[in-house]
């Protein structure tokens, strides 16, 4: 006999854990909470306060902060550790960071306490899974194996359990076995780049600033961490990345110093190097009968703009809002007409972001033609237009486009005390 739920979420990464916590926690203006399960074979432990900072970190936007708060996870995250960043400096290799050619954002200009937070992805995932469990979600430490959809429900099998639900949500990452089982096609593109991720110590303090340099061979970002070190994400063309991964720590640091133009003084590698071959992915449909995709299962973007998990959390909040709203109206949460509302809302938003990010990669990082040169010089020009600056800042804060309720300002009242 199958364990019955309203919703089964396949994958308890940050996005899956978030949608589960939101659905089970149901805000007061919406419907009664739903019976929710997550399938996640690799649940991370909440990191100890004195544990070294994990190598996988991400930049979380203001919108994500609000969603994490609505999901009940923000307090646990801030009680551990976060690194707010107050400024961004973005420049092209044809200019220098300290010149008028560099684009600078300052939270103070926008009347904000910061522009976002650098947080370990594992910490966010662990806090969200804890919040989901506190809201009544049941976690199965099992892998999804197969799916059978009927008019009334969807049946899900793992090696050791059988579950049934009115809706299954695929949050199982870029390779998404659920997406394949549901017959949802996706287009995958190869960027021909590898992202090298590591922690580095720098001669000069990072000044709570996220530094990003566009190079003709890729993009290099320094993200400020709470212990004074920086996390680098160096998305380099494969032919440059492979020797960098094989270089000694000293050779790597010298190459890094050249690539960042010594913006923070001499660097020293303070960790191993992780590598991620970069692919883009766009699911052709996000939904089918009784099935919806969220996060990397639906779309994968280049990490240069630090948007992947932020887009996924917006998917989670949007889908939870629409599902709870539909349930409050007595609608079937797995019905295609309900799920299509989610697809219409989020697919257009993520497509716009994906096209913009790919244009940044093509023009700012790799471009050599006249259009690319205009874009590269144009970085500094943005400083002179308050309207353009406001536009880009709103994008950086994740506060542009059509936002779900959980990402809007009123939700952040409780979280402001943690800033
Ligand atoms: C180098 C790099 C830097 C990045 N930096 C940023 C950044 O600064 N900001 C940002 O917003 N984004 C960033 N991203 C993107 C971000 O990491 C992803 O978008 C995010 O992790 C996606 O979350 P997710 O929950 O959708 O998927 P995942 O994190 O991939 O989680 C999927 C989950 O599904 C589970 N799963 C898989 N298969 C099964 C199965 N068969 N059954 C059950 N469970 C299964 C997995 O165990 C996993 O826990 C970066 C990405 C890279 C590569």
Beta strand pairing call for 7-10 and 167-170: parallel
Closest CA to 380 of 142, 31, 57, 103: 103
- CA 403/CA 394 separation, integer angstroms: 12
398 C-alpha vs ligand 1 centroid, how far in Å? 18
Overall average pLDDT of the 14-25 stretch: 97
According to the model, what pLDDT value does residue 380 have?
78
Specify the pLDDT at position 35: 96
Residue 256 lies in a domain: no
Least confident among 152-156, 310-314, 400-404: 400-404
Q: Give the residues across from 276 on adjacent strands.
A: 195
- Say yes or no to pLDDT of 30 above 80: no
Burial group, residue 142, by CB count within 10 angstroms (0-12, 13-18, 19+): middle
Q: What domain range includes position 307? A: 3-86+117-188+280-366
Least-confidence region, from 68-82, 188-202, 226-240, 368-382? 368-382
Does residue 326 sit within a domain? Answer: yes
Question: Whole-angstrom Cα distance, residue 212 to residue 195?
Answer: 14
This prediction has a pTM of 0.95
CA–CA gap between residue 238 and residue 235 (Å, rounded): 9
Neighbours of 385 (CB within 10 A): 11
Q: State mean pLDDT over 301-313.
A: 96
Domain count, the chain: 1
Ligand 1 pocket residue status of 41, Cβ below 6 Å: yes
**51 C-beta neighbours (distance < 10 Å), count:** 14
Residue of 147, 173, 180, 241 best suited for mutating to test ligand 1, as the one with most atoms within 8 Å of CB: 173
Q: Per the domain annotation, does 409 fall within a domain?
A: no
pLDDT (tens digit per residue) in 153-177: 999 999 999 999 999 999 999 999 9
Tell which wins on pLDDT, 120 or 416. 120
Is residue 276 within 8 Å of 29, Cβ to Cβ? no
State what percent of residues in the chain have pLDDT above 90: 82
10 CB under 6 A from ligand 1?
Answer: yes
In a domain, 125, yes or no: yes
Domain assignment present for residue 124? The answer is: yes
- Is residue 97, in this structure, part of any structural domain at all? no
DSSP category for residue 367: -
Question: In the chain, what percentage of residues exceed pLDDT 70?
Answer: 96
Distance 94 CA to ligand 1 centre (A): 33
- CATH code for position 301: 3.50.50.60
Is the distance from the beta carbon of residue 310 to the nearest atom of ligand 1 less than 6 Å? yes
Measured from the CB, is residue 59 less than 6 Å from ligand 1?
Answer: yes
Residue 176 in contact with ligand 1 by CB distance below 6 A: no
Q: Which residue has the tokens 């110093």?
A: 257
**Residue 379: predicted pLDDT:** 81
The Å distance, Cα 181 to ligand 1 centre, comes to 19
Q: Is the CB of 43 under 6 A from ligand 1?
A: no
The token duo for 224 is 């400020």
Q: End-to-end alpha-carbon separation of the chain, Å?
A: 48
What's the pLDDT at 202?
A: 98
Q: Is residue 349 part of a domain?
A: yes
List of residues 6+ apart from 131 with CB closer than 8 A:
17, 21, 25, 71, 72, 73, 76
Q: What is the DSSP string of 25-45?
A: H--TTS-PPPPEEEE-S-PPP
Angular region, 375: left φ>0, alpha ψ -120 to 50, beta rest: alpha
Q: Are 301 and 311 in contact (CB under 8 A)?
A: yes
Strand runs (DSSP E) across 174-271, as ranges? 186-202, 209-215, 218-224, 230-237, 267-269
């Amino acid at each position: 006999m199958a364990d019955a739920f309203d919703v089964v979420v396949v994958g308890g990464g940050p996005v899956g854990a978030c949608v589960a916590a939101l659905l089970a926690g149901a805000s007061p203006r919406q419907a009664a909470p739903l019976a929710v399960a997550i399938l996640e074979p690799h649940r991370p432990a909440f990191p100890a306060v004195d544990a070294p900072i994990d190598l996988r970190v991400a930049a979380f936007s203001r919108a994500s902060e609000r969603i994490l708060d609505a999901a009940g996870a923000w307090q646990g995250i801030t009680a551990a550790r976060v690194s707010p960043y107050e400024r961004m400096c973005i420049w092209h290799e044809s200019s220098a960071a300290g010149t008028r050619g560099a684009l600078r954002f300052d939270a103070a200009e926008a009347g904000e306490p910061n522009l976002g937070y650098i947080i370990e992805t594992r910490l966010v995932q662990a806090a969200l899974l804890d919040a989901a469990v506190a809201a009544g979600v049941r976690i199965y430490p099992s892998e999804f194996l197969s799916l059978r959809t009927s008019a009334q429900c969807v049946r899900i099998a793992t090696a050791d359990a059988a579950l049934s639900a009115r809706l299954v949500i695929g949050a199982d990452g870029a390779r998404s076995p659920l997406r394949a089982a549901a017959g949802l096609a996706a287009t995958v593109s190869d960027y021909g780049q590898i992202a090298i991720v590591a922690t580095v110590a720098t001669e000069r303090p990072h000044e709570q600033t996220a530094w990003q340099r566009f190079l003709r061979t890729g993009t290099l970002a320094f993200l400020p961490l709470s212990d004074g070190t920086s996390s680098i994400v160096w998305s380099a063309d494969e032919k440059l990345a492979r020797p960098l991964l094989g270089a000694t720590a000293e050779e790597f640091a010298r190459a890094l110093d050249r690539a960042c133009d010594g913006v923070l003084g001499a660097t020293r590698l303070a960790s191993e190097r992780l590598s991620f071959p970069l692919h883009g992915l766009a699911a052709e449909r996000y939904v089918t009968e009784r099935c919806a995709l969220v996060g990397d299962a639906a779309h994968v973007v280049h990490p240069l703009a630090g948007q992947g998990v932020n887009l996924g959390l917006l998917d989670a909040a949007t889908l939870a809002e629409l599902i709870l709203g539909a349930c409050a109206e007595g609608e079937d949460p797995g019905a295609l007409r309900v799920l299509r509302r989610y697809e219409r809302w989020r697919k257009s938003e993520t497509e716009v972001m994906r096209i913009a990010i790919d244009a940044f990669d093509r023009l700012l990082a790799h471009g050599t033609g006249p259009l690319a040169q205009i874009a590269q010089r144009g970085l500094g020009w943005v400083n002179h237009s308050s309207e353009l600056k406001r536009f880009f800042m709103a994008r950086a804060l994740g506060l542009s486009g059509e936002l779900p309720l959980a990402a809007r300002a009123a939700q952040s009242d409780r979280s402001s005390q943690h800033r």
